Amino acid sequence: MRTASLVGRLDVAIPSRKLGWEYDSDRWHNPRTWAHGERRHERLVALGWRIDHVAKIDLLPSSTRLRDSIRADLAA
């Protein structure tokens, strides 16, 4: 029997739907971490996850991109 191994943690996830959102902050997502983050993203996508990367601008009250993306992901 093969056991599951941890590939990574997403900031917000719905495991039953394999949906995830990752906030790309400057502190944790910077040039020194890009290669590692890209490999982790590719591994999660290969496992069937859909991941939306969220930027600071997406959190502004006037921004609708994140809201629209979540609605589309949940409707799919």
**pTM given for the model:** 0.76
Quote the pLDDT of residue 1.
60
Report DSSP letters for 4-33, one per residue.
Answer: P------SEEEGGGTEEEEE--TTTSSTTT
For range 32-59, the mean pLDDT: 90
User: What is the residue type of 62?
Assistant: S
The per-residue pLDDT for range 46-73, each reduced to its tens digit, is 999 999 999 999 999 999 999 999 999 8
> For residue 36, is pLDDT > 70?
yes
For range 15-22, the mean pLDDT: 94
Identify the band that residue 30 occupies on the pLDDT scale cut at 50, 70 and 90. confident
